[in-house]
């Protein structure tokens, strides 16, 4: 149960970071201090000990976790054009062609379906008193790895390198709970 709360915390923090990045063109120094967890430079941290703050230690966030968090953040809240545009907009730094955008959108839709099915199965099992977190985690990791590989095939070598660099940079905006 604690692991689920940790996952939800990670997703909420990532969604908040993505929304804040999209909504604001600048961040005040007060907000930057709050985000890092430092209180007026006093060194006090508001981040729990079991959470890796990517602003402080991005190197401690694994590539697999970074790709997982990024791909989970791409899942649209609904099928509105705005949400679909937001989803593809997350790949803007790769300068995708129209065909690549279309193909990536298809792969992301399949990823969302896979994650939603895994979540529904997990929730159904949890309602019956037998949640299987290990099975859910395996399905999620498998979906992330397959999606990452399919996106890399669409992007080609140069854009895949740019994508990987982008994910590395995004680590500084992530917070992740460790078990």
- Looking at the 3D structure of the chain, how many domains does it have? 1
Tokens of 7: 């996952």
Cβ atoms within 10 A of the Cβ of 148, count?
22
Alpha-carbon dihedral 107, 109, 114, 120, rounded to 10 degrees? 170
At residue 44, the pLDDT reads 52
Domain holding 38, by residue range, is 2-177
The per-residue pLDDT for 50 is 87
**Average confidence (pLDDT) per 10 residues, the chain, 179 residues:** 46 41 30 39 65 93 94 90 90 89 94 95 92 93 97 95 94 89
Q: In the chain, which ranges are E strands?
A: 51-53, 175-177
pLDDT at residue number 92: 85
pTM above 0.95, yes or no: no
Give the CA angle between residues 69, 114, 157 to the nearest 5°. Answer: 60
pLDDT given at position 45: 56
Tell me if residue 127 falls in helix, strand or coil.
Answer: helix
Integer Cα distance of 104 and 154 in angstroms: 7
């Amino acid at each position: 149960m604690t692991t689920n709360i940790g996952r939800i915390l990670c997703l909420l923090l990532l969604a908040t970071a993505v929304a804040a990045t999209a909504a604001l063109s600048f961040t005040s120094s007060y907000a930057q201090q709050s985000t890092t967890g430092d209180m007026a430079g006093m060194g006090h941290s508001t981040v729990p000990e079991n959470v890796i703050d990517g602003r402080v230690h991005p190197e401690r966030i694994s590539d697999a976790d970074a790709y997982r968090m990024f791909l989970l953040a791409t899942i649209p809240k609904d099928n509105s054009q705005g949400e679909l545009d937001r989803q593809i907009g997350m790949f803007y730094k790769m300068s995708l062609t129209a065909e690549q955008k279309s193909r990536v959108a298809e792969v992301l839709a399949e990823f969302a379906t896979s994650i939603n099915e895994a979540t529904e199965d997990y929730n159904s099992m949890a309602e019956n008193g037998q949640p299987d977190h290990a099975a859910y985690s395996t399905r999620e990791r498998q979906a992330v790895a397959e999606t990452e590989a399919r996106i890399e095939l669409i992007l080609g070598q140069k854009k895949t390198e740019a994508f990987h660099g982008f994910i590395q940079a995004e680590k500084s905006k992530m917070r992740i709970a460790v078990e």
